[in-house]
Chain A
C-alpha cells in the first residue's frame, strides 16, 4: 500500500516543471509554457536557420525593451509647463517709495560738515572748482590746520602715469605706489589716458605695506565713491532712531494719496528704514494683517500719490539725481530698492501699469531650486521670505563679518556683529574692497551656494511719463497742493519738487506659469507595459517567471546536481562500487496529459456544452478543453524528432 501511494504521489507530481532534472529541460519547459512570445518560437521552429533567426529576434526584442525602458527611466524627471490665466480679484502688491536722497541735508549738517568741507577742498585742488566765485584758492598749509583725518584714512591720489607715482592730495608729496592697482571702471587699462587717473589708496592697517590703489577714469566716480566710504563710516556710528529722525517722515514725502477710488493717508504706509535710502514708505505692506486687493483694473483704481521731493535739501555729493525710487514687490519680499528700483521723475506724472505673473518651478529632483531657503547653509539676515538676492547679500555679509570682523553698512546686521567704522575697525575698508572684489569674481562661493527660489511673483511694469502739471493747470494745482502741505510751509511749491505717481493693474488677469511633472509613476508603468507588450507581450508575470526559472529553479537544479554528484561520489567512495544510476524520471502524465483523459476527438468548449457525458461514466468527466491539446504535439512528435525530444522510452 505504501508503495502504491508513493507511486501515485510521484505520478501526480509534475516532473517536467521546475523540478525538471536538467537545465535544458527546464529551459524547454520554460519556453513552451512562458507567456512571452518569441521564446516559444525558438523551441517550436523547425530548421536551424529559422531557430537561429528566432533566437536573434527574441534577443533583439529583449535588447530593445531594455533600451527603451532605460530611456523612459531617464526621462522620468522631466517637467511640462502649463500656463493658466485666471481672471480674479488680485491682491495689490506692496509699493515701496523712497526719496532718492536718504537724509535731509540740513539735518545732517552736524555730522557731515567736516566731510563736505574736505570734499570741497579736494575738488578745488584737483579741478580748481570752488563754489563761491570770490573764494581764493587756499594753500596747502591751510588744510593741515583743519586737522581732519579723512585724507589720512584714505588718501585721494592723482596718479601721474604708470611710472607708479602718485601725488597725494593732502601733502602734495609724490609717493611711489606699492601693492596692486585696481581699476574700478574697467578691467582693461587704457594707458593713453593714464595721466588723468584719480583714485584712492586703501592700506591694510596691520601691515602698512599692503596697499591697494583704486583708480577711476573719471573724477566724478572717484569723488563719489570716496565720499560714500566716509559717509558710511559716519552713518554707521549713528543709532537707528536718530537716523529715522534725520530722514523724511511720511508727511514730508507723501502729499496726497488715493487708492481704489478712495482717499488714503500716511496710516496706510509703513515705514521701513533702508540704510542707503533712508526712510522709505511701503504702501499695503500687509503689516496689520490685511492686504488690499483690487477688483478693477485701470488707472483710476490703483494707487495714486503725489510725492514731495524737497530738492533743495539734497546732499550734493551723495546723490546726483533728483526724484523718487519705487519698487513693486510682494508683501513677504524684501524691497531691494537700490538694486531693482524704478526711478520717478519730478514735474511729471509717471504711470506704471502692472501685469501680474506667478511662476512655480518644481524643486528637487526636477530642478535645483529651493522652496523656503531652509536648505541653504546661509542664514537669512532679512526678516523676509527667501530670495536669491537675500541669500547673496546675507552670504556676503557673513563673509564680511568673518573676515573683517564687522558688518557692512548697507546690509542688515547679523546677531552679535556691529557696523564697520574706522574708529573700531581701522582696517575695514581695505578688507571690504578685497572681499567685494572676490565676491564679484565669484571666489567667495556665494553664487554657488545660493539657489533661486522655486516660486516667485513678478509684476511686469509698463512705465510711461506725461507732463504734470499741465501748463494751464499748474497754477491752481500748485496752490492747492501747497495748501495741502499745510500751514507750516508758506511758500508756494515748485513743480520740480513734486512727482505724481500712478500704480495700477492693467488687467486683472493673473498668469500662472507652473511646472508639472511630465510623468507620474502610473504613466511610467504604463509606458513600461506598453514597451514590454509591444516587443514581447510580456508583463510583470513574465518577469516573475524569468526570475523564478532563471534564478531560483536553475540554481536549485545546479545545486541539486552538485549535491547528487557529491552524494554519488561519497557513496562510491564508501562502497567502492557503482550505485544505481539515477532513473531518468518517468514522464508520467497528469491532469490533461493523462492519456486516460484524452478524447480522440479533442472536445472543445462548445462540444463540451453540446454533449453532456453520461452520468455514470467510469471515466473522469471530460475536462474542459486544454490549451496544450491545441498544440498538436503528437503530430509533430513523429515527424520531427529533432525538435521535440520528449524523454520517452
Chain B
C-alpha cells in the first residue's frame, strides 16, 4: 500500500514539475549550510557579494590543495625516531670465540704434506732463482701444482709479458696482452673470459693464476706482492684438499673446547667449556659460543662493570699454527645476538696473545617498522633467497642472505659449493679433482659485479638491527711477576702435568662486560597515522571554511537534489514534445 502511495506521489510530482529552480536551491543551500562563506555571499550587498564569492572559491580551492598535500604526506609513510639510552637488565650477548687458525697443524700435517713441500720448493725458487737445486729426495707432486701453477710475469716489456712457471725453466713468451687469458673457443664454452687482473704494474714479479682444464681457458690473477700470491694460492689449494675431508674429521682436527677454554667465569658463577656450544666455522675451524640461547634460556646481566661480565682465559697454542694459512695469530671473537650465526670475518675482532683484552659493551638497537614504512624484513621469510644457514637453526640476517645467495649462484654456475659456505642438499664441495675448473669459476664469480648486485638487490636487511658497540682496551697479561704461577696452574689444570705447557704466545685473557649505559635504542613510530590525517584534514577544512564532514554531506545532498531537478526537468521537457 505504502509503496503504491509513494509511487503515485512520485508520479504526481513528475507531472507537476519540480516546483523550485536551481537558483532557489543554491540560495537555500548557501543560506543554510554550516560552512562559513556561502552564507556571506547571499547576505551581503552586491559588491561584497562578489568579494565573498571569490573568497569562498579561493578558500575552497585552498582546502582541496592542502588536503592533497596532507594525503600525500600520509601516503609517504614517514616515521619519527625516538632515542632512549640507559641501563637495564639485558640479555648478555652471545660470545663466539675461535682460534684464528682453523686446524692444528699436527693433525692436518699428513694431508698438507705434499702441498707444504711444494710451496717450500716454490719459495726457494722465487727467492733464490740462481741455485735451483733439483735434488729433492722424494719428487714433488707436480699434479697438484699443475692444477693451479704459480707463475712469474715479467712485464718489463709491456706488450710481451714473459710468463715464467716457477718449476719450468723455459720462458713462455705470450704474444700479446690480449692473449693473456683470452684464448676463447675453449672446450668449456660456458665460461666468460674476462681479464680480471688489474693493469699490472711494472714490478718484475707477479704471480699465480687460476687455470682451467688444460691451459686453453686461462686468466692470470695478478698480485703485486709475492707474499699475497703465495697466501692466496695456498688457501685455494688447501681449501680444495680439506673440502674432501668429512665434517667430523675436520672437527676432530680443530681445537677442542677443553684445550682452548682454560678458565671461564660469568659474574660470580664459574663456568667451563661445557657451557659453550661448538659450531664448525669454515674460516676458523671449531668455534665455541657462550650463551647462544639455543637449548637453554639466555643469561641476563643486571649489573654494569667487569665484575659482572664474562671472564675467559683462552689458549690458542700458536706453535701448532699452519704456517702458510694464517699469518696473524690470536683469538677471533665476536659478540652477537642469541640464535644468530656468527659471521666472524665481518664483525669479529681479534684478541692478541699475551694480553688481557677488556671489552665494554653497549647494545645499539634499531627497531624499525616494517612494510610500508621501510623496506625491511622481520624474519626473512619474504626474501627470495634460500637461507642456507637455517640448517644451523639460526635466525635470518643480511650476511646469511648474501652468503646463501652467493653459494646458490656458485652451485648454479660452477656445479659445486664453496667450502666457506654451507651446502644446499645434494651438492658437494668443490675440489680440484672432481671440479677442475672451480677455482677459475669461483674467482670470476667472486669478482663479478653483476652477481654481487643481484644479491644486494634480493637481500633485505632485518627490521631490528642490533649492534654491539665495543670499547676495546688491552694490557699485557700475565705480568712478569705473576707469569710463573699462572702458567703453572693453568698447565696443571689442563694437562694434569707439573710442567709448564703454555707460554705467552698462546694465552689470552678476555673480559666482556656491559658498560654503565648498556643500551641505546632507536625506535621508530609512524609520523602520520590515520587519526593524524583525519584531524589534519578537519583542521584544514575548519581553518579555511569552518566546515566538517557534515558539510560535505550537505554538499552531497545538494548535488543529489540538483540532479533530481534535472531529471524532473528533462522528463517534463520530454512530455512537452
Contacts and interface: CB of A to CB of B under 8 A. Distances in A.
Interface of A: 13-14, 17, 33, 35, 80-89, 255-258, 261-267, 295-300, 306, 348-349, 351, 353, 355, 460, 462-473, 475-477, 479-481, 483-484, 500, 506-509, 511, 516, 518, 520, 522-523, 525-530, 532-533, 537-542, 544-545, 592, 605, 608-609, 611-613, 621-627
A204 B55 CA distance: 76
B101 to A, nearest CB: 8
A511 B366 CA distance: 10
A525 B540 CA distance: 6
Given A523-B536, A539-B544, A298 B447 contact: no
Interface string B218-246: 00011111111010000000000000000
Contacts of A86: 461
Interface stretch (B175-183, B306-314, B322-330): B322-330
B539 A527 contact: yes
Nearest to B359: A464
B214 interface: no
Contacts of A533: 538-539, 542-543, 546, 548
Which of A300, A460, A466, A592 has the most C-beta atoms of chain B within 10 angstroms of its own C-beta? A466
B479 interface: no
A466 B99 CA distance: 11
Interface residues of B, number: 113
B201 to A, nearest CB: 5
A263 to B, nearest CB: 4
Given A473-B326, A530-B535, A612-B13, 15 more contacts: A85-B376, A263-B228, A296-B402, A464-B472, A465-B330, A467-B505, A469-B327, A470-B323, A500-B327, A509-B461, A509-B465, A527-B536, A529-B543, A545-B40, A608-B20
Contacts of B535: 526, 530
The 10 closest A-B pairs by CB, nearest first: A529-B543, A624-B28, A526-B539, A612-B19, A470-B329, A539-B546, A466-B330, A256-B225, A533-B542, A541-B36
A621 B20 contact: yes
Contacts of A509: 398, 461, 465
Interface stretch (B90-98, B345-353, B408-416, B427-435): B345-353
B17 A529 contact: no
B19 A608 contact: yes
Contacts of A541: 36-37, 40, 55, 59, 544-546
Contacts of A256: 224-225, 227-228
B331 to A, nearest CB: 8
B328 A87 contact: no
Given A85-B366, A85-B465, A295-B449, A466 B39 contact: no
B472 A530 contact: no
A296 B545 contact: no
Given A265-B201, A509-B465, A87 B398 contact: yes
Interface string B446-483: 11010011001001110001010110101000000000
A476 B324 contact: yes
A275 to B, nearest CB: 30
Contacts of B545: 539-541
A467 B330 contact: yes
A466 B28 contact: no
A85 B367 CA distance: 11
A360 B368 CA distance: 19
Interface of B: 13, 16-20, 24-25, 27-28, 31-32, 36-37, 39-40, 43-45, 55, 59, 66, 69-70, 73, 78-81, 83, 100-101, 105, 123, 126-127, 196-198, 201, 203, 205, 221-228, 230, 318-319, 321-324, 326-330, 343, 345-347, 349-354, 357, 366, 368, 374, 376, 398-399, 402, 446-447, 449, 452-453, 456, 459-461, 465, 467, 469-470, 472, 474, 505, 522, 524, 527, 535-548
B24 A623 contact: yes
A476 B123 contact: yes
Contact of B399 (A297, A349, A466, A528): A297
A342 to B, nearest CB: 12
Contacts of A35: 36, 39, 546
Contact of B227 (A295, A477, A539): A477
A443 to B, nearest CB: 35
Contact of B226 (A468, A484, A609): A484
Contacts of A542: 36, 546
A623 B30 CA distance: 13
Given A471-B505, A529-B539, A627-B32, A466 B456 contact: no
Interface SS of chain A = mixed
B453 A464 contact: no
B543 A540 contact: yes
A17 B17 CA distance: 37
B146 to A, nearest CB: 22
Contacts of B323: 470, 472-473, 475-476
Contact of A522 (B70, B347, B352, B353): B70
Given A306-B227, A541-B546, A83 B350 contact: no
A269 B168 CA distance: 35
A64 to B, nearest CB: 15
B237 to A, nearest CB: 15
A366 to B, nearest CB: 15
12 contacts: A81-B80, A471-B329, A473-B327, A477-B227, A483-B126, A508-B398, A529-B543, A532-B542, A541-B55, A544-B55, A545-B40, A612-B16
Contacts of B228: 256, 258, 263
A467 B352 contact: yes
A544 B505 CA distance: 86
A300 B345 contact: yes
B290 to A, nearest CB: 18
A263 B443 CA distance: 13
Contact of B452 (A295, A298, A299, A627): A295
Nearest to A345: B352
Nearest to B331: A466
A81 B80 CA distance: 6
Nearest to A266: B201
Contacts of B43: 17, 33
Nearest to B333: A464
B347 A296 contact: no
Contacts of A621: 20, 24
A525 B225 contact: no
Contact of B318 (A471, A506, A527): A471
B539 A484 contact: no
A638 to B, nearest CB: 26
A480 B230 contact: yes
A511 B109 CA distance: 46
A529 B546 CA distance: 8
A465 B327 CA distance: 13
A529 B541 contact: yes
B453 to A, nearest CB: 7
B340 to A, nearest CB: 13
A484 B230 CA distance: 12
B81 A81 contact: yes
Given A80-B527, A256-B228, A295-B453, A526 B329 contact: no
A464 B350 contact: yes
A481 B223 CA distance: 13
Nearest to B196: A262
A80 B80 contact: yes
A480 B233 CA distance: 14
Nearest to B468: A462
A621 B327 CA distance: 105
B539 A83 contact: no
B327 A609 contact: no
A186 to B, nearest CB: 25
B560 to A, nearest CB: 12
Contact of A84 (B196, B227, B374): B374
A526 B538 CA distance: 7
A464 B349 contact: yes
B198 A537 contact: no
A71 to B, nearest CB: 15
A540 B60 CA distance: 12
